[in-house]
Structures are given as structure tokens and as C-alpha cells.
């Protein structure tokens, strides 16, 4: 509840709620993050705060869906979006399905872990995800996002392979659960940073990646639950191995398309559908 309440409050303050836009004052006198200001327009920016506030900064929320923004864009632009979203589809899907069914897998044969002990597995998994995200903060200063994603995807693949090999070991199930949590923890932010380095985007790529991750977390849980019900608990690890292989394959395609993606030139930066306009020597922020 706090999240939708806070979002509603921000919409209300920015006068984006149709029924409540009469008396509230906007958070900013002018949307400095959205306006392209030239050196000669500083006076206009100061007077803009005196005019009635409009939602001009928010008019382009759905502009990434307009076909005119994609004229002259190479196919690699779309390929980077799609492959990046598919990597997150698989990795976030693994997070959802593993945390949701590792308990059910542990209490079934051949492991037959005591229910109380098996209950620690999801907590261990999420605990190491939290630990991994803390560790990834200082690591990200010394390592490129592409390298971090590669290590995460390969780590997930190797962990599932070892879980399959030592499928009868309760001890390694706990070790593998902790390892998966570490490798999956920083995949999402690292992928966002990696695609940002490629596309120099404002927001459209974020929408595609977050949507892909959310759909994967929902769909793969449903898929794995149905397979476990029909094929037995061992299929839980088999599904994880398959998803890990697919994640690695999509990452390899992403790197391939990254190498094909044309580097933006100064003349083409303004025409790029994902390149934000940067004011020259005005001290304003880039959206």
C-alpha cells in the first residue's frame, strides 16, 4: 500500500490527476528535467514557473510507442531490446520459480528433507540475493556491467549443472541455493546498466526490460508448477538447467548484436530515438 499511495501523491503534486488539479502546487516550478534549455532561454525558464503548470514533461511517456521515433533505426536497435528482455525473462523467471518450488522439491523423494529444515531454503535463497546485491555495489565500480552479467549467467548455469549431478545431496542443495542467490542477485541491475551503455536510452528500453522480467517471473512459475505436477520433482532442476542455457544463449546474442550496433555519432545523436537532448553549457540536467 505505501507504494501506490506515494505514486498517487506524486501524481497529485504534479497535477496529473484529472479530478484533483486545482489547488495543488507542483514539486518543481518548471520541469527542468524535461525542457531543452538554451543559454538564451534562461529568462524564459524563470518565467515559466509563473505560468500555469502543464504536464508537458509527461506528454512523452508513451512517445516510445510512436512509429516516427523508429524511422531509420537499424534492426540491431530492436534486437538489443528483445535479447536483453529475454535474458531478464529467464533470470527473473528462475528467481520466481526457484524460490517458489525449492521447498516442494526438497521434501519430495529422493531428498525427503524434513519440512522444518526445507523451510529454510527459500529464506536462504532470498538472504543470499540480498547479500549479493550488497556485494555487487563495490564490485560494479571495478567491473563492467557486461562482465557482471556474463559471470552471473555462467554461474547460474554451472550451479544448476552441479545440482543435477549431486541431486541426492541435501548439503549441496543448500550450497547450490546460496550460490544461485548470489549469481542471480545482480543480474537485473547489471543488465539495465549494460543496455544503457549500448542504447543511451531515456526510458523506453527500461520499459521493455522491466516488462520482460516481470512476465518471466510470472510465466515460468506457472510453467514449472505444471511440469512438476505432471513429471515429478526432479523436473524442477531440469527446468532450471534449460532456463539457464536459454539465458546464456540470449546473452550471447545480445553481445553479438552489441558488436553490430552502430556507435552514435555527434551528427546522429539528436536523431536517435533513445538519445536525450543535452543542453549546452546551461548547467541543466539531462533527462
User: Which pLDDT band, with edges at 50, 70 and 90, does 283 fall under?
Assistant: very low
Ramachandran sector of residue 72 (left: φ over 0; alpha: ψ -120 to 50; beta: rest): left
**CATH top-level class of 90-260:** mainly alpha
Alpha carbons within 13 A on the beta-carbon side of 66: 9
Separation between Cα atoms, residue 271 and residue 68, nearest integer Å: 11
Collect all residues with Cβ–Cβ distance below 8 Å to 42 and sequence separation of at least 6: 282
Q: How many Å is the Cα radius of gyration of the chain? A: 23
Q: How many residues does this entry show for the chain? A: 287
Mean pLDDT score of the chain: 79
Task: Tell me the mean pLDDT in the region 113-117.
Answer: 92
User: 4-55, pLDDT tens digit by residue?
Assistant: 888 888 888 877 776 665 555 656 555 554 554 444 444 444 444 444 444 4
Q: What does each C-alpha distance from 124 to 30, 102, 195, 263 come to in angstroms? A: 47, 11, 30, 43
pLDDT for residue 158 is more than 60: yes
Going 159 to 162 to 164 to 167, the CA torsion angle's sign is negative
Taking the CB of residue 143, how many other CB atoms lie within 10 A of it? Answer: 15
Task: Tell me the mean pLDDT in the region 248-259.
Answer: 93
User: 201-219, pLDDT tens digit by residue?
Assistant: 656 778 888 999 999 999 9
Separation between Cα atoms, residue 109 and residue 155, nearest integer Å: 26
Q: Do 16 and 58 form a contact (C-beta atoms < 8 A)? A: yes
* Per-residue pLDDT, 52: 44
Q: What does each C-alpha distance from 20 to 8, 31, 222 come to in angstroms? A: 11, 20, 40
> Would you state the cell numbers that stand for residue 125, as one nine-digit string?
535463497
Going 150 to 153 to 155 to 157, the CA torsion angle's sign is negative
User: Which pLDDT band, with edges at 50, 70 and 90, does 241 fall under?
Assistant: very high
Separation between Cα atoms, residue 98 and residue 149, nearest integer Å: 19
Identity of the highest mean pLDDT range in 95-99, 261-265, 283-287:
95-99
Amino acid at each position: 500500500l505505501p507504494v501506490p499511495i506515494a505514486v498517487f501523491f506524486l501524481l497529485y503534486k504534479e497535477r496529473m490527476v484529472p479530478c484533483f488539479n486545482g489547488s495543488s502546487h507542483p514539486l518543481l516550478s518548471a520541469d527542468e528535467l524535461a525542457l531543452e534549455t538554451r543559454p538564451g532561454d534562461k529568462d524564459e525558464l524563470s518565467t515559466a514557473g509563473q505560468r500555469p503548470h502543464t504536464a508537458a514533461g509527461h506528454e512523452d511517456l508513451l512517445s516510445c510507442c510512436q512509429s516516427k521515433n523508429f524511422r531509420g533505426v537499424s534492426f540491431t536497435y530492436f534486437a538489443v531490446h528483445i535479447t536483453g528482455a529475454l535474458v531478464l525473462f529467464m533470470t527473473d523467471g528462475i528467481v520466481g520459480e526457484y524460490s517458489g518450488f525449492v521447498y516442494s522439491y526438497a521434501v519430495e523423494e529422493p531428498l525427503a528433507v524434513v519440512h522444518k529444515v526445507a523451510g529454510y531454503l527459500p529464506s536462504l535463497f532470498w538472504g543470499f540475493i540480498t547479500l549479493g546485491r550488497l556485494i555487487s555495489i563495490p564490485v560494479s565500480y571495478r567491473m563492467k556491467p557486461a562482465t557482471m552479467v556474463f559471470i552471473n549467467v555462467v554461474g547460474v548455469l554451472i550451479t544448476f549443472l552441479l545440482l543435477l549431478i549431486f541431486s541426492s545431496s541435501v548439503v549441496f542443495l543448500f550450497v547450490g541455493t546460496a550460490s544461485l542467490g548470489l549469481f542471480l542477485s545482480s543480474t537485473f541491475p547489471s543488465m539495465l546498466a549494460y543496455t544503457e551503455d549500448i542504447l543511451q536510452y531515456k526510458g523506453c528500453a527500461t520499459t521493455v526490460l522491466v516488462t520482460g522480467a516481470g512476465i518471466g517471473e510470472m510465466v515460468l512459475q506457472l510453467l514449472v508448477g505444471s511440469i512438476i505436477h505432471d513429471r515429478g520433482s526432479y523436473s524442477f532442476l531440469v527446468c532450471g538447467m534449460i532456463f539457464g542455457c536459454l539465458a546464456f544463449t540470449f546473452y550471447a546474442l545480445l553481445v553479438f548484436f552489441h558488436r553490430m550496433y552502430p556507435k552514435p555519432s555527434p551528427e546522429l545523436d539528436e536523431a536517435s530515438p533513445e538519445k536525450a537532448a543535452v543542453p549546452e553549457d546551461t548547467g541543466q540536467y539531462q533527462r
